[in-house]
Amino acid sequence: QYLAEKVGELGNLEELKANDSKYSRLREKLTEYFARFPDEKVVLFSYFRVTLDYLRERLRKDGVETFILKGGMGEKDQLVEDFKNHKGAAILLSSEVGSEGIDLQFCRVVINYDLPWNPMKVEQRIGRIDRLGQESKVILVWNLFSQDTIDSRIYERLFKRLKIFEDTFGAIEEVLGDEIRELTNSLMSGQLSVEEELERIEQTAIALENRRQQEGELEE
């Protein structure tokens, strides 16, 4: 209810289009990449369905061929097949429904347009292309977020420390979920200073690091 009351003060779609530095950065990088690799396929994940619709509209106007995958669309295997067989460069815009159960190893770039705070969710996304049958020696993971935000602090202090873009996280999803939920509640409370946010993220990173080490020792 509070958001519904405030949404009119946040601007409108035209203002967003005129000032959306995040989209501008995406367009810039895609233009560079497709100029070098004109037949490549790229996968982009966003948590929000309306964000996918927004990106499809803007990318199409900018001449980028798009396919969209989100819940309630029917046969996703056929969509993936159409995307794979499309002649020329294209981008698959996917919600979380595409982070499990589909094979995209014919792609070597995955873009996180918004970054889940749970590292397991990020691993699931990357796992769509980092799998058996991937022929590229290197896969690319592009993460988009605004500077000086909670997202950027999560990336710098949690994800980099845990090396989630380098190592698999292992089978500790239940523990991980509890830790991330507690961290989310703290960060979204609006009661912490930037320094306190950093300290809270650091505490979570240490806890998860210790847990992963314990799991590794148990496995050995």
Amino acid at 69: L
- CA dihedral sign, ordered 6, 7, 12, 15: positive
Please give the Cα distance from 45 to 125 (Å, whole number).
Answer: 8
> Which residues 6+ apart lie within 8 Å of 73 measured at CB?
79
Please give the Cα distance from 209 to 207 (Å, whole number).
Answer: 5
Residue 24: predicted pLDDT: 95
Cβ neighbours around 156 below 10 Å, total: 13
Percentage helix, strand, coil, to 5, in the chain?
A: 55, 10, 35
Please give the Cα distance from 129 to 102 (Å, whole number).
Answer: 9
Nearest residue to 55 (alpha-carbon basis) of 113, 126, 7, 105: 113
Averaged pLDDT, 69-88? 86
pLDDT at 177 over 90: no
Crossing angle (nearest 10°) for helices 173-187 and 119-126: 120
pLDDT at 158 over 90: no
Helix residue ranges per DSSP H, 20-109: 21-36, 49-61, 76-85
pTM of the predicted model as reported, rounded to 2 decimal places: 0.82
Residue 86: predicted pLDDT: 93
Strand partners, 112: 45, 143
Q: For the chain, what percent of residues have pLDDT higher than 90? A: 39
